[in-house]
Chains A and B, each alone.
Chain A
Amino acid sequence: MNNTAASPMSTATSSSGRSTGKSVSFAAELQSMMFSLGDSRRPLHETAVLVEDVVHTQLINLQAAEVSQLRGARVISAEDLLFLIRKDKKKLRRLLKYMFFRDYKSKIVKGIDEDDLLEDKLSGSNNANKRQKIAQDFLNSIDQTGELLAMFEDDEIDEVKQERMERAERQTRIMDSAQYAEFCESRQLSFSKKASKFRDWLDCSSLEIKPNVVAMEILAYLAYETVAQLVDLALLVRQDMVTKAGDPFSHAISATFIQYHSSAESTAACGGEAHSDAIQPCHIREAVRRYSHKIGPLSPFTSAYRRNGMAFLAC
């Protein structure tokens, strides 16, 4: 499926030969995750496999190892990943907020359980706000114009996150309590919970330079963000595909799908889906295509990390 069609993924060398015989697969978890992010109750398996592939490719192609090598470090650490994301302010801010939240949460949970409190004291090192310190120190060192440090005080509302919250709220309003319980469980899934599986999936053991604990947390977060972005975009694409009566641009939009759907039937199949049905692989592909094809006068210059001609969804 990777090698068919003019998919941007096919240009990435690492994705070939990966779809079959892969022992570690997150497809089942991804299906749950997509449900929690806005997809229908039972996302399609093919979609999940495709999403898995996209995420995997993106993470591999981050090439964080190279950055660490440049630095002369022995492990991939949080600093390398922050460095890679530095260009996209919004995503960087979201990542920083995530890191701070992690610190804050451990601080609170520690205060509640006395055993946790003892463990923390015994571990000796000052763990409080560890991630925040790492982030602050690093950004301090690379910041030339003061923009990055301004991010710490920045309190703007994250629109994407806002939209996701609203979508979740709309979704949950109509659920009954059993469905809601299931939804909540799906929301709690993350790549960081299955850390060892995640490591195998990324094939970390074959890397010379391995990521440390905080870096793994960030990678898990980036993977989750990628899935979330894909679902966001795919939902938009799906919305576009449904031809609305009176929409003047409907004939133009449907033209962008021609490269994927040779026959009129598949167009109809994709376009005729009701809102409540699952996201199709074609939606995902279209979403990736659109994302990497930024239209605009400065598009060749905006994306700084197009190493293989692929734009990164998470950063």
Chain B
Amino acid sequence: MEGEETYLELFLARCAAQDDLAPPRSPLLSPIVPYDVYIPNSSNPETTFNSQLEEVTETSGNFSSVDLSFLPDELTQEDKDQTLIRSKHETEENCKTKSWQSGLPLPSQQDVGLALNSSGGSNSHSHLHPGDADSAQPSPEKPLSLPLASITPMTPVTPVSECSGIVPQLQNIVSTVNLACKLDLKKIALHAKNAEYNPKRFAAVIMRIREPRTTALIFSSGKMVCTGAKSEELSRLAARKYARVVQKLGFPARFLDFKIQNMVGSCDVRFPIRLEGLVLTHQQFSSYEPELFPGLIYRMVKPRIVLLIFVSGKVVLTGAKERSEIYEAFENIYPILKGFKKT
């Protein structure tokens, strides 16, 4: 416990020094990213926070030889995550200006409760101005409650009248990373658990791990594809675990150019949609061939996302490189879908 507490202090000190918010980091480490689910976690902030730290210490410990190459990645990742969190919060703020639909009652109640908790804190400012230096040292239990705490926006936000109140859930993330060393696939397949290698069929090792439940394709050039994770952080974590496995087998594996290639999200608008009407009015974007595929394929231009829209009201969004693109695409399509609601 000693070691972990000091690590916590160091961690928080580092974050404060960088003018970063410690709180947004913890939700990212949480395995369940959609915030309508992780709010219940905030009731046990200490344990969840510490368990995240355990994971971090564990992984960082074993990569003692390649720690340095990790750090730059993490720093830039944090910046990127800040913008993601910011845009996510903006959408959240927009939603709050309108009364919530019955779809997500739990988060809104929790929001109000948490807002009351930290309404006095300076942290409510820091959400909309994360660059500000006045993000004071928050105590461990605050972090997880903060992201949704602020109900009164500090900057005037134009209310989006058609805000959906529905958040697409990420289903699959495909990422690539370069281990930067030539690999002997046969050796990997022989010594690693859960590895398949059939050179006649495909020139890569297929490895799977249970936590996070993902699959990786490892090529002899050192490049690796990781699929199946449900969030960006999980994909990154899984990729690091695979890299560690390769490292343990004696290869000088590094962790270069980690990049998310594709993100898939899905959600349900909860009403049936009249696809014939949609394909007619949005001809230049949509294709609908029910004999071939039961869903309508909608190619949104901005952001460049492909949406599969089904009669039942389920929507699948794919082709995103960032989470914000999925949210934005869904917010764009929602009013259109409402127009074709089948009563």
Footprint of B on A, CB under 8 Å?
36, 98, 101-102, 104-105, 108-109, 111-114, 117-118, 121-122, 124, 165-166, 168-169, 171-173, 176-177, 180-181, 184, 187-190, 192-193, 224
Contact B172 A98 (CB under 8 A): no
Q: How far is the CA of A166 from the CA of B279 in the complex (A)?
A: 10
Contact B274 A105 (CB under 8 A): no
Known: A111-B318, A112-B316. A105 touches B297 (CB 8 A): yes
Contact A166 B280 (CB under 8 A): yes
Q: How far is the CA of A166 from the CA of B342 in the complex (A)?
A: 17
Residues in B with CB closer than 8 Å to A190 are 291-292
- B215 in contact (CB, < 8 A): yes
Q: How far is the CA of A128 from the CA of B316 in the complex (A)?
A: 21
Closest approach, in angstroms, between the C-beta of B147 and any C-beta of chain A? 28
Residue of B nearest to A220 (CB): B291
Contact A108 B202 (CB under 8 A): no
Footprint of A on B, CB under 8 Å?
171-172, 174, 201-202, 204, 206, 215, 217, 227-228, 262, 264, 272, 274-277, 279-280, 283, 287, 289-294, 297, 306, 308, 311, 316, 318-319, 342-343
Q: Which of B201, B274, B289, B294 contacts A172 (CB 8 A)?
A: B274
Contact B174 A122 (CB under 8 A): no
Contact A181 B272 (CB under 8 A): yes
Interface of A is mostly: helix
Residues in A with CB closer than 8 Å to B228 are 114
13 more contacts with CB within 8 A, not counting A114-B227, A121-B217, are A101-B292, A102-B292, A108-B308, A109-B293, A111-B174, A111-B319, A114-B174, A114-B215, A114-B228, A124-B201, A177-B342, A187-B291, A190-B291
Residues in A with CB closer than 8 Å to B276 are 165, 168-169, 171-172
Q: How far is the CA of A187 from the CA of B289 in the complex (A)?
A: 9
Contact A112 B297 (CB under 8 A): no
Q: Which of A108, A121, A173 contacts B277 (CB 8 A)?
A: A173
Q: How far is the CA of A35 from the CA of B308 in the complex (A)?
A: 25
Contact A169 B201 (CB under 8 A): no
Closest approach, in angstroms, between the C-beta of A164 and any C-beta of chain B? 10
Q: Which of B204, B206, B272, B318 contacts A112 (CB 8 A)?
A: B318
Residue of A nearest to B171 (CB): A112
